[in-house]
Structure 1
Amino acid sequence: MKKLTQENAPVLEALEKLKQMRIVPFDVPGHKRGRGNKVLTEFLGERCLSVDVNSMKPLDNLCHPVSIIKDAEQLAAEAFGAAHAFFMVGGTTSSVQAMILTACKRGDKIILPRNVHRSAINAMILCGAVPVYINPQMDKTLGISLGMSIKDVKKAIADNPDAKAVFVNNPTYYGICSNLNEIIKMAHANNMLVLADEAHGTHFYFNDKLPAAAMRSGADMAAVSLHKSGGSLTQSSMLFINDKISEGYVRQIINLTQTTSGSYLLMSSLDISRRNLALRGNKIIDTVIDLVEYARSEINNIGDYYAYSREKINGDSIYDFDITKLSIYTRSIGLAGIEVYDILRDEYDIQTEFGDLANLLAYVSIGDRPRDMERLVSALSEIRRIYKKDSTGMLEVEYINPKVVLPPQDAFYTNKEESIPLDKACGRVCTEFVMCYPPGIPILAPGELVTSQILEYIHYAKAKGCQMTGPEDMELNNLNVVTEK
């Protein structure tokens, strides 16, 4: 048997062989290579439907890989500098949850920034872990949360020596990185694991112009969204671990929640994207960097907008910055980021990643072209000319320090719950999530106290057009809270 190299794509190669075989499918899926659903086949194409297949001997099994998936995962581990890799078909949400469920059991503490994705808090609801939040510092001008300062991490570790792990965003949605290497050093010195949410950091592994990548820096586990900046299909992700974590135990944890019907469309896209990045990633990402640097310069020349970059680095809470992130401050033209987002989509047919109350994020990756950047820059210039107004009266965005009253699991599963009008919830303990999506960072999470500042923020975000998600009442007129004694 020949030695596999990064030129190989075992899942892809196995599917190509399968297509050459004359197998009669008396198994699932029921569309039987597309023959049973003509409309779907016409929409997606016969080539796609012909490889939307179930686990079988030539194709291995995602729940217990022993052949081609195992080979593909090992190539991924080598490409990303990990001991083991796991193909994940439930998005990086499932990867983040697997990390926390591996590190923590009921009652265990985990140190983490409050600006985590909801998947991290969901994991604490599932396993009963108790959060020790490090409140990230705030850039009051931009209205964004920053990274974790080393001083705050050090204090959290000293105050909670029994914590099992430290969780790090690498980077944040806006491209901001904490001092990952120092955090790993401190955590390991205190026998704590380091878990990295690298949903937006796939490209860090393949270009030395970018911030430190978690697995190459010595983190214990990392959740990486190849579908975001790596080019794979939506919902495909990878989980990486070092050699100090039990591969078998992590697989058991993953199999608690991940489907037994792993999609070969998603797995082959991971395999193909890993190969592409391993062989050509440095050059591809250089092109992305050049595109973003060009757009950033042009946007800053328009006036009023501020497309920020490494000049924001302060050596601590902004230890490094991902220069592929095109994050744009919009309040200076009198518009919230979500308002610019809506105008770009509705009037210019430009779909950006998200807008918040002060910023817009245009996600740039391996599929973007120079002419697309020109169109974005031109549209932003027109929006400034047509829509600019006085910014007086806009809400000053500040980080809201959460008051955690109950562990997330206790609050979410409480049998003492009632639904009350949102405006009457001040002073009560929330039992559900409230967040703007994207990015899916909770404004309120189960177990947190509802304050007047939070209510003001929610009303302002709703008025500006932010998509509010999480609560049982999808209109967010009512909120579920713990019943008062």
Structure 2
Amino acid sequence: MYKLKQDNAPIYEALVKYKSMRILPFDVPGHKHGKGNPKLTEFLGERCLSVDVNSMKPLDNLCHPVSVIKEAEELAADAFGAKHAFLMVNGTTSAVQAMVMSVCKKGDKIIMPRNVHRSAINALILSGATPVYINPGVNKKLGIPLGMSVSDIENAIKEHPEAKAVLVNNPTYYGICSNLKGIVELAHKHGMYVLVDEAHGTHFYFGENMPISAMAAGADMAAVSMHKTGGSLTQSSFLLTNCDLHVGYIRQIINLTQTTSGSYLLLTSLDLARRELALNGKEIFKRVTELAEYARKEINKIDGYYAYSKELIDNNEVFDFDVTKLSVFTRDMGLAGIEVYDILRDEYDIQIEFGDIGNILAIISVGDDMPAVERLVAAISQIKRLNEGNTGDSFDNEYINPDVVMTPQSAFYADKKSLPFDECVNKISGEFVMCYPPGIPILAPGERITREILDYISYSKEKGCFLTGTEDINIERINVVEEL
């Protein structure tokens, strides 16, 4: 299957060799193998801090790799079926930004769904590119945005044939997958790049019977959060490429925003996680799928919950579904998703990925086992029993169609003034408002502020969602664009 020997881990092997040499450090980091910070060493361990080192000739340099990091990139590209793979240590955020900025310059148009992660809109602020938003369909019962349909993209291309690229979320946070192959074929026919925010899709490359991966579908670039479902350390990701753009140019774009002090802890975790998945991914994700399916089946026996899956597929806005996602609709049992999320953490010591107005998401991946899943299911069941008769109140859905008035860059850098919420109706937002996680903006720079949006933000605050994005830390005021 693989052209290269996937049991190699060049960065890890170089660090092991470095450690055995007992080098006396007179470089950064200043803790000098942990000796300068005993409490940190006690907490993380000497083995960890002894390999928290700086770039040097035996360990290569992330900004311009020529040896062990270069070898790790080649192994990753081989494992993911890409032409090239970049090791990212500023998270998938920097990978998404690098994708957009590699193909779009100031004034260029890019077609994307509005329910993108904030990193994609941040890329528009940085690059000056203009978004052509496609409003996703909405499942009215679940209140969740769906995928992008090929017909919607086709209409956007007809209206904006000069667009440079199409960006796709695949899968969404909830597990919804678009017709990626169809989108790629359509975009390429019109000379456009296809960029995929594949943050939650690492397992598509290694498991069996999974939705198609971006590289297999022929996409040009994909941002993959190895740390989310692949077992590497938080903040470590891959940027995969499969296009005609020069690797050196893409690296220059990456280096505009990525640190020059790449963490070898993060790099090694990518190296080892890639090796583990390349060698054992089929077995790992077979087990993950079985755990998720078991949990889904058991939760669906409990009145008031709905753990959804492939039955949502309509071959249009839901082309496929990622069955490893344990997405659960909660409103029928009288609690908002964020309320269930808080109860699980505060009363059962269970931390799930997120809760929104109507749903919760539990990530099941390489580190889970049956006892953990059974404990989660038992807690969810008990929450239902303790909340019998709770009717609750709710909004109809999680997605509000935006009214885009200005480009994100123009609005973000415009002269602004801060107004209380109730005075913001019909004003143009100069900043973000979003629940985190998942980090999808309710309001983005350049969009008209409506009463519906303000009511939704207030409702989210009331239910306990963690809101971010505004300059005002209390989320009681919004910066709006000064009117001329």
Q: Same fold, TM exceeding 0.5?
A: yes
Correspondence for 1:477? 476
Q: Distance in 1 between matches of 2:284 and 2:295?
A: 17
Q: 1:393 to 1:45 in 2, by over 3 A?
A: closer
Name the counterpart of 2:227. 227
Whole-Å Cα distance in 1 between the matches of residues 49 and 399 of structure 2? 47
In the alignment, residue 352 of structure 1 is paired with which amino acid? I
- CA separation in 2, counterparts of 1:255 and 1:209? 36
- Contact preservation (8 Å) 2:7, 2:279: yes
Q: Find out whether 1:451 has 2:450 as its counterpart.
A: yes
| Equivalent AA in structure 2 for residue 52 of structure 1 | D
Query: Separation in 2 of the partners of 1:231 and 1:35?
Result: 29
Residues 58-106 of structure 1 show CA distances to partners (whole Å, capped at 9, x for unaligned) of 0000000000000000000000000001000000000000000001000
CA contact (8 A) 1:220 1:245 kept: no
1:22 is displaced (CA, Å) by: 2.5
Alignment of 1:252-401 (within 5 A): 252-391=252-391, 393-397=393-397, 399-401=399-401
Secondary structure of the structure 2 residue equivalent to 1:443: strand
Partner of 2:462: 463
Q: Tell me if the contact between 1:84 and 1:243 (Cα under 8 Å) persists in the aligned partners.
A: no
SS in 1 for 2:301: helix
Deviations 1:440-481 (A, max 9, x none): 000000000000110110111000000010000011111100
Aligned to 1:125: 125
Q: Distance in 2 between matches of 1:15 and 1:465?
A: 44
Deviation at 1:23, TM superposition (A): 1.3
Query: Deviation of residue 394 (structure 1)?
Result: 2.2
- Cα shift readout 1:148-180 (whole Å, capped 9, x = no counterpart): 111111000111000000000110000000100
**What is the correspondence of 1:24-35 to structure 2 with a 5 Å cutoff?**
24-35=24-35
Q: CA deviation at 1:390?
A: 4.1
The 5 A counterparts of 1:22-421 are: 22-391=22-391, 393-397=393-397, 399-415=399-415, 417-421=416-420
Counterpart contact for 2:335–2:392, Cα < 8 Å: no
User: 2:421, 2:476 within 8 Å by CA — same for their partners in 1?
Assistant: yes
Shift, 1:246, TM fit:
1.1
Partner of 1:426: 425
Q: CA RMSD in A?
A: 0.9
Range with greater deviation from structure 2 (383-392 or 133-142): 383-392
d(CA) in 1 for partners of 2:398, 2:418: 28
Q: Which one-letter code corresponds to 1:245 in the other structure?
A: L
Task: Quote the offset at 1:369 in angstroms.
Answer: 1.1
Quote the Cα distance in structure 1 between the aligned partners of 2:422 and 2:148.
32
Separation in structure 2 between the aligned mates of residue 39 and residue 207 of structure 1, nearest angstrom: 41
Q: How many Å separate the matches in 1 of 2:438 and 2:137?
A: 18
CA distance in 1, matches of 2:322, 2:271: 25
1:439 aligns with 2:438: yes
- Runs of 5+ unmatched residues, structure 1: none
Paired with 1:127 and 1:461, the residues of 2 have a C-alpha distance of 31
**Matched position secondary structure for 2:167:** strand
Shift of 1:243: 4.1
- Identity across matched positions, percent: 65
Q: Which runs of 4+ in 1 moved over 4 A?
A: none
CA contact (8 A) 1:299 1:305 kept: yes
* Cα displacement string for residues 10-29 of structure 1 (whole angstroms, at most 9, x for unaligned residues): 00000000011031111000
Q: Assess if the C-alpha contact under 8 Å between 2:428 and 2:480 holds in 1.
A: yes
SS at 1:210's partner residue? coil
- 8 A contact 2:134–2:152 mirrored in 1: yes
- Residue-by-residue CA offset, 1:396-452 (whole Å, 9 max, x unaligned): 22531100000000000012x100101110000000000000000000000000001
Aligned length: 482
C-alpha contact (below 8 Å) 2:138/2:397 kept by paired residues: no
Q: Is 199-208 or 381-390 further displaced after alignment?
A: 381-390
| Corresponding letter in the other structure for 2:447 | E
